[in-house]
């Protein structure tokens, strides 16, 4: 399993639980930001996880084609600059039939979308490039390489 851009390791406690249920699970993460990666390594140690964290970004995944049964992305596609290229990398890394599991904030419907549009620039400048109004749900849903479950 690959955690794509793990940040400080917010998902790691869930991976710990997953490994307790499935001891064959092999954990990998990439995180290019050195400060976040340092905190992620600390979390791996605190949780006594057997996990490899590498410094490459999604642009150049350091893994062979068809390497993973599962790729996880949590609050990543709001920020990375090229969503299509990142999805290409996800499909490159996944084995046929593999699962892409994601947790992303998305573009709202109705009046809330207008609020997201209105504050997006200030939000983006103050939240490390995060786009509040990216229609990530539609992008994923419309990508016919994936079957949405």
Binding site for ligand SAM (CB under 6 A): 5-7, 10-11, 31-33, 36, 57, 74-76, 79-81, 128-129
Residue 69 C-beta: closest distance to ligand SAM, Å: 19
Q: Which residues of 34-56 are buried (b: 16+ CB within 10 A; e: fewer)?
A: eebbebbbebbeeeebebebbee
Which residue number, 8 or 67, has a Cβ lying nearer to ligand SAM?
A: 8
Residue 91 C-beta: closest distance to ligand SAM, Å: 18
Residue 72 C-beta: closest distance to ligand SAM, Å: 8
Please report, in angstroms and rounded to a whole number, the separation of the first and last CA atoms in the chain: 18
Closest of 24, 77, 81 to residue 50, by C-alpha:
24
Which residue number, 10 or 113, has a Cβ lying nearer to ligand SAM?
A: 10
Sign of the C-alpha dihedral computed for residues 51, 52, 55 and 58 taken in this order: negative
Q: What angle do CA 68, 86, 105 make, to 5 degrees?
A: 100
Which residue number, 73 or 94, has a Cβ lying nearer to ligand SAM?
A: 73
Which residue number, 75 or 108, has a Cβ lying nearer to ligand SAM?
A: 75
């Amino acid at each position: 399993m690959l955690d794509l851009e793990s940040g400080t390791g917010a998902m790691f406690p869930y991976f710990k639980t997953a490994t307790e249920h499935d001891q064959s699970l092999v954990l990998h993460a990439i995180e290019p930001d050195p400060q976040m990666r340092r905190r992620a390594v600390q979390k791996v140690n605190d949780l006594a996880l057997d996990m490899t964290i590498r410094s490459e970004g999604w642009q150049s995944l350091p893994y062979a084609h068809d390497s993973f049964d599962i790729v996880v992305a949590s609050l990543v596609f709001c920020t990375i600059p090229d969503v299509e290229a990142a999805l290409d990398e996800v499909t490159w890394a996944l084995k046929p039939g593999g699962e892409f599991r994601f947790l992303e904030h998305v573009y709202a419907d109705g009046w809330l979308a207008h609020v997201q549009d209105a504050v997006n620039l200030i939000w983006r400048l103050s939240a490390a490039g995060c786009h509040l109004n990216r229609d990530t749900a539609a992008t994923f849903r419309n990508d016919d390489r994936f079957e949405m479950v």
